[in-house]
A and B are shown apart, each in its own frame.
Chain A
């Protein structure tokens, strides 16, 4: 492999080091180098949101970030959402509200939703639909996803 670069970063709270080619995206690094396959690829050009991760506090599509850009950053992926005690309320709400069918978009939706509710715990339906417009789902028609997000708001306040 020509010119591998050493990158030190933090993923889901864990200091992590990896080697990658500069041309590899963060998505490729997560999936192929680190074996963290929870983050999904749907389009590889930033238009479906399946690869959404939190990158220094903002959600981004990890297909449009280079792995080498992760140096000294804080990254949260779907693997970092649940705790040893159990599911995050957003995950529990998606499960209970049947907000997933095939499930391929689900990790991206959950990461994006958690980022929204961490900032705006009272987001209304319109705001939820706006925030999630970058996450495509082809199975559900979004109805049950929006309901799940509203339910997660209640769960997080309880």
Chain B
């Protein structure tokens, strides 16, 4: 039954083939060096002391017993951060931003979530550091917490920040509030659109906080030398982001910070924020020794991530022909302890799959006493899609319309303007819907009691941003490719493939290496489905630069004008003299005697969007006695533009789907009345295991992105967008009750049934 289908438009020599990844042997033999594996002479181990309270004033911190504990070399608190000794006048407009950033790293006057760092210790061993950290005495005045957006938006809610004022459509409010901002998108005439509708349905939804769930905990090793050079080795999706953050928070020259990204054990957006790096650097500065700080799994749950819990309302108007005429959407997203939820992205994605003439979307970014939310794979989009797609599903049910047919009638296509402004170029949503409709899964009847099928679509922008690549030619005709994009799931391969294709050489002849921030130009994070797209583009441009220089060199060797030399499929030849012909390899061998080596370089910042869409189909069975849902069959269809490495595209799709299954069925942050997370372990957080799943079928649709040389769109984000709604709808059909809250765990489904 299981199948992986690729619907290709164009065939290339290297691109589109399933090559072995260059870092594969290291990773299957345990040789690959991850952040926790770093060993340095004189290395100390750090331990962070964290707030046990969700919301509390810090009255005093006494570190004296920890400082004198045998084996301890340094203890730091927020008082050691530069912010503590800088005045508002000195900082000017930077004051508020630096205050929030510094307080996130180490709390100064107030703990804003359970797990908020209070102090840190560097000692001879992990155990000694832990023992010493326990000796730090912190006096708290515990405050009532605000744990959900609904609670935090109440007028009498406990205030997290006395100096946070709502940015109300750009204007600052005059009263402090937990609502950090209110933004809105509007198009057409909402009231008119609702009047045109034959069916208007309004529903309300809630989703819980969930974690990215990468298996490797955060880690950071820092060494600050006496000359001011600060070296950091860590697990990050964005070494340049870490460099900027550390330089900013520690007021350290950016040129004296070198960040070496180690192999990374998963991130999904959650490994961009610099949580530990400034702490490790402070401890190193104070102790004069390199310091490694690791998070435990509990710390990962309680002090990193999560994706926001939400409260959402969706009202859709639809004609009897199944055309959407109006949409009114309310999104309130938890930001966590500091402003910055992805509500803007959620708002922009909410209706992106459809051509909606009249719409209004209001978004609220609300601080609550939970860890500051971090990006999680298509941040904001899965929640928004859960709300919108669920309402569409219910409308289809009411109207007796096929859910794929309904979506085809309303699907975004080239020329459609999104609610927030941009106009789509050539996109592949219609092709995805058609592939879903034609799939054996969709055509197969679903029989048996307590079973249901769900369908949903999803969108992510897939924006480019900055990337740099250098390519040097080796005397044996191979090339070294130097990049700044951390390889989180096979991107060394997908980038090397694009370089090889451009150069017309074999995949195996490109040797990619990910380097530190001193050794390559600025490269944005590995995230947002941008790496294969933008760093791939940089590789193409660097390869073009190599080709240009190779042509010039051949011209020099042949003593002929450059215009007479051509470069085709890795062969240099004279346009009119058939005797003058060299392969890439033959010329590479001659470089050192004819003017020196050749290095191509590029810095790119592609501004267009890849615009990825996916359509998912899922069959579930619900045990009516226990409320437990079993995923019977799952098919994910997605437009990849061009799948550079189909296996890793499928892997992204399958991985995203399964994270979405976890989000829909069981994963959630469970808090007690005091705002303390009770399930901060893999045992009780309940991510899917191999035994909870079927094979995940995939269909890669290839509608080339006109904005990329090989048509790449980016793939990683989209597959987590549809599952929440698809599964929610499937359960709804299985049990005859609508699912409007996630997770739809057995207890919740049982309640819905009773």
Contacts and interface: CB of A to CB of B under 8 A. Distances in A.
A9 interface: no
Contacts of A136: 215, 682, 687, 689
A101 B263 contact: no
A68 interface: no
Among B24, B126, B489, residue most surrounded by chain A Cβ atoms (within 10 Å)? B24
A133 B213 CA distance: 16
Interface in A95-119: 95-98, 100-107, 110
Most buried by B among A36, A48, A136, A142: A142
Interface string B483-509: 000001110000000000000000000
A37 B216 contact: no
Given A41-B36, A43-B681, A135 B690 contact: yes
A81 B682 contact: no
Contacts of B690: 128-129, 132-133, 135, 137, 142, 145-146
Nearest to B45: A32
A79 B32 CA distance: 11
Contacts of B213: 138
Interface string A3-47: 000000000000000000101100010010001111111111101
| Interface residues on chain B, size class | 35 or more
A52 to B, nearest CB: 11
Given A42-B216, A101-B651, A128-B690, A47 B683 contact: yes
B37 A37 contact: yes
A42 B651 contact: no
Given A43-B297, A45-B683, A87 B691 contact: no
Interface in B655-690: 655-659, 681-683, 687-690
Given A45-B297, A87-B29, A104 B215 contact: yes
Nearest to B659: A138
26 contacts: A28-B126, A38-B29, A40-B265, A41-B36, A41-B217, A78-B30, A92-B28, A98-B490, A98-B647, A98-B651, A102-B214, A102-B263, A102-B264, A103-B27, A105-B215, A106-B28, A128-B690, A133-B691, A136-B689, A138-B215, A139-B651, A140-B654, A142-B658, A142-B688, A143-B654, A144-B647
Given A37-B30, A136-B215, 17 more contacts: A28-B126, A37-B34, A40-B215, A42-B682, A91-B29, A98-B21, A98-B648, A101-B489, A102-B216, A102-B265, A103-B23, A103-B27, A104-B34, A130-B691, A139-B655, A141-B651, A143-B695
Interface of B: 2, 18, 20-21, 23-25, 27-34, 36-37, 39, 125-127, 212-217, 263-268, 296-297, 488-490, 645, 647-648, 650-652, 654-659, 681-683, 687-691, 693, 695-696
Q: Which 7 A-B pairs have the closest CB atoms?
A: A38-B30, A104-B265, A141-B658, A101-B489, A103-B27, A141-B654, A78-B30
